[in-house]
Every structure is written in C-alpha cells, then in structure tokens.
C-alpha cells in the first residue's frame, strides 16, 4: 500500500468524523464506526516508518473511546495526516 492510499484512509476516517460534526442528516454514525475507521488506519504497516502518525492515530482512537467531542477527534486525525505528509520523502 502506498503513502497515497495511507493518506486516503486517514481522510476517510476524517470524513466519517466530520459527517458526525456537520450532521448531514442522512446517516447515523456510531463511535464504533469511527473507531473502526481509525483502526483501519492503524493497521497500515508502512505508517511505522513515518514519525508520529501512529501516535496521533492512537490518540484519536483513545479520544473516541473516551467520548471526547468529534472536533477533538477530527483535529487529532488532521495532525496524523499532517505528520504523514511531512514524513513522506519529497
């Protein structure tokens, strides 16, 4: 799996959280689904080589389990996405 698809997976998790925050009114998203999307990101082996990405993803997962506001989870996922982009070879 490439770094690009890793970013896509994190973006997917962010989109799920943002859907909760923005309340489109066309889907019911549970914390379990958010946690699942974050776990999907954590499973990506190539992220081990990029500093901080797994740390932020872990924090986002903890925040979801702790019932933290969706904005906080989203912010932490953005941090993971930023760390991934910073850590990629240019």
Partner 1 sequence: MRSAEGRGRTLDEAVDSALIELGETRRNVDVRVVRESSDETVVEVTVMEAPDAAGESPVNGKAETVRTLLEGLLKHMGVRASVQVRVGSDPITLDVTGRDLGALIGWRGETLRALQSVTNVMVGKHLNEGERVIVDVERYRQRREHTVREIALRAARQVKMTGDAITLDAMQAFERRAIHLALEGDPDVTSSSIGEDPDRRVVVGPRKPADA
Interface with partner 1 (CB under 8 A): 11-12, 14-16, 18-19, 21-27, 69, 71-72, 74-75, 78
Q: Of the two residues 37 and 44, which places its CB atom closer to partner 1 in the complex?
A: 37
Least distance in Å: CB of 68 to partner 1?
9
Q: How far apart are CA 54 and CA 2, in angstroms?
A: 16
User: For the chain, where are the alpha helices, taking DSSP H only?
Assistant: 3-22, 31-42, 53-65, 70-87
Least distance in Å: CB of 50 to partner 1?
19
Q: Of the two residues 28 and 48, which places its CB atom closer to partner 1 in the complex?
A: 28
Least distance in Å: CB of 56 to partner 1?
13
Angle in degrees, CA 15, 32, 60, rounded to 5: 60
Tokens of 65: 């389990």
Q: Of the two residues 23 and 51, which places its CB atom closer to partner 1 in the complex?
A: 23
Task: Give the containing element (helix H, strand E) for 68.
Answer: none
């Amino acid at each position: 799996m490439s770094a690009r698809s890793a970013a896509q997976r994190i973006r997917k998790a962010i989109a799920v959280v943002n859907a909760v925050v923005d309340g489109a009114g066309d889907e019911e998203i549970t914390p379990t689904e958010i946690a699942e999307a974050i776990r999907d990101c954590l499973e990506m082996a190539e992220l081990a080589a990029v500093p901080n990405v797994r740390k932020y993803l872990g924090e986002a997962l903890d925040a979801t389990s702790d019932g933290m506001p969706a904005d906080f989870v989203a912010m932490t996922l953005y941090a993971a996405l930023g760390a991934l982009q910073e850590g990629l070879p240019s």
